[in-house]
């Protein structure tokens, strides 16, 4: 599982890419313009960006990231197929280049390849309150005992665990995991968190509902 950011202004393309990546087991956040970019990309493992956007160019984002010392892999998806344009793209610091139209399976292969050679690999195992969370195998251990979590339960717990002491409203959780499971509704999230509290040792204190802000996992910063 990886945290992937997709910047694409074609809503049909954006939806197809997001749904496919979620199908592949990733958590995806999207935007369709520079104005919607997050303040930081520190939580992501990979960025997929279109070249031409309403208020900027993907190569400019790539240049900015490299100037800031961010070596996160960047995959450019674009209709530009001219070799000179590709040179401009690679010179900006992008890692791979996928020309539209493309098969979603090829996108999956490119993403997997880039994630394998990330220069600053995100820590894949977290330890919180005696629980060992393996983001790669989607498993949670309490001592030697593996805790049985379904896909949605693990995704919510992983989201909270990778952002300790940060509250997420139900709407924010649905936004992060929306499309990941068609059951991702308000009631389903509440029920899922309730199940997590029953399954995880000490979760009543570990996962808390911050009044007016949302669910939060208590842990070291």
Write the DSSP symbol of residue 122. P
Rounded to the nearest integer, the mean pLDDT of the chain is 84
| Residue 174: alpha-carbon gap to chain centroid | 13
Residue 142's SS3 state is strand
pLDDT of 123 reads: 57
pLDDT tier for residue 221 given thresholds of 50, 70 and 90? very low
Q: Which two tokens stand for residue 217?
A: 């996992």
Instruction: Please say if the pLDDT value at position 147 is more than 50.
Output: yes
153, 136, 140: which is closest to 45 by C-alpha? 136
Single pTM value for the model: 0.58
Query: Does the bond joining 47 to the residue before it have cis omega, within 30 degrees of 0?
Result: no
For range 68-80, the mean pLDDT? 84
pLDDT of 169 reads: 85
| 61-75, 118-132, 144-158: segment of lowest average pLDDT | 118-132
Which domains are seen in the chain, by residue range? Answer: 3-116 (3.40.50.2300), 125-217 (1.10.10.10)
For range 33-52, the mean pLDDT? 87
pLDDT of 64 reads: 86
140, 120, 121: which is closest to 130 by C-alpha? 140
């Amino acid at each position: 599982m990886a945290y992937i950011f997709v910047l694409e202004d074609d809503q049909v393309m954006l939806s197809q890419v997001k749904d496919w990546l979620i199908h592949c087991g990733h958590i995806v956040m999207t935007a369709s313009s520079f104005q919607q970019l997050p303040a930081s990309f520190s939580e992501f493992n990979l960025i997929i960006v279109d070249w031409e956007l309403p208020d900027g160019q993907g190569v400019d984002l790539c240049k900015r990231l490299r100037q800031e010392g961010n070596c996160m892999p960047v995959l450019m998806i674009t209709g530009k197929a001219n070799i000179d344009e590709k040179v401009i793209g690679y010179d900006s610091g992008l890692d791979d280049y996928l020309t539209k139209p493309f098969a979603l399976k090829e996108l999956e292969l490119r993403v997997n390849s880039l994630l394998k050679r990330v220069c600053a690999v995100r820590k894949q195992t977290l330890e919180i309150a005696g629980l060992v969370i393996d983001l790669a195998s989607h498993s949670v251990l309490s001592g030697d005992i593996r805790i049985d979590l379904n896909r949605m339960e693990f995704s919510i717990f992983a989201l909270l665990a990778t952002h300790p002491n940060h509250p997420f409203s139900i709407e924010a959780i649905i936004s992060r995991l929306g499309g990941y499971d068609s059951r991702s509704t308000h009631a389903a999230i509440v029920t899922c968190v309730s199940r997590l509290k029953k399954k995880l040792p000490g979760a009543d204190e570990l996962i808390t509902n911050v009044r007016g802000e949302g669910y939060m996992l208590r842990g070291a910063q």
